[in-house]
Structure 1
């Protein structure tokens, strides 16, 4: 059974696939979900191969980007940043009554300072040593475009 966070993430991916066209080739309805746990990307355009990350977050307001958004695994993100590889970001904000908005931040508008590593999980945790990261959106909030 999926956790609340997994359900929220799936909702966000479904909304992007259903509501957004591909930012690269501009074709509607060509974004499809990638398999769970695909590193650093959640959707792909089945026409041009464009990859993007989707993050969904609970929010009281859907008209502004939050200060931080929970990321995923830090190590793959760090390695990609060292190789100067950034994935575009779709941010889906969802209210308790299921209203939502979608913001888009292209890869070329991202900067290394917006990725903040979290502390590794304790040795008593089920995934001891695993380290995630946060997107610090404060420096790039004005660069994100609301697409829905």
Structure 2
């Protein structure tokens, strides 16, 4: 299955293009991994989540990337990510991997209960000359989190 690049013709940023295409694809092709309900996109300003299940109300954060399988993914701001994933209403994580030709390879579901503080790794803060000096991102270490592949479907 392919991502739809017709959705992003006016965008120049590769990360914006990927975000829009992958969020649209998940909303169109993936059911809630917990209850098979419909995943509804949240507003672009929703913190820490991209979808909510219309049936069970579980929230989901989508991370996507192009290329080979990875055990670590770039996350957002460290403290915000930590706070989000350790909160009562933490989102589950969906990781979508696609290729240069926009073919979707896989979507893996990670349950929020399996994501712990030691899976969220701080990155070095940006230096004093950076536009966002002091800002600290994070990496999500997926290597020891049990994930369930939900696409392609396993029979």
Q: TM-score range by the shorter chain?
A: 0.7 to 0.9
What is the aligned-residue RMSD (CA, Å)? 2.0
Query: 2:132 is paired with a residue of what secondary structure?
Result: coil
Inter-partner Cα distance in structure 2 for 1:24 and 1:146: 13
Decide whether the 8 Å contact of 2:39 with 2:53 is kept in 1. yes
Q: Alignment length, in residue pairs?
A: 140
Decide whether the 8 Å contact of 1:88 with 1:105 is kept in 2. yes
Structure 1 segment 98-109 matched on structure 2, within 5 A: 98-100=102-104, 101-109=106-114
User: Counterpart in 1 of 2:79?
Assistant: 75
- Structure 2 runs not aligned, ≥5 long: 1-10
TM-score (ref. length: structure 2)? 0.79
User: Counterpart in 2 of 1:146?
Assistant: 149
User: Counterpart in 2 of 1:54?
Assistant: 62
CA positional deviation for 1:80: 3.5
**Runs of 4+ residues over 6 Å off in structure 1:** none
Aligned CA distance change for structure 1 residues 2 and 89 (closer, same or farther; 3 Å): farther
Aligned CA distance change for structure 1 residues 36 and 124 (closer, same or farther; 3 Å): farther
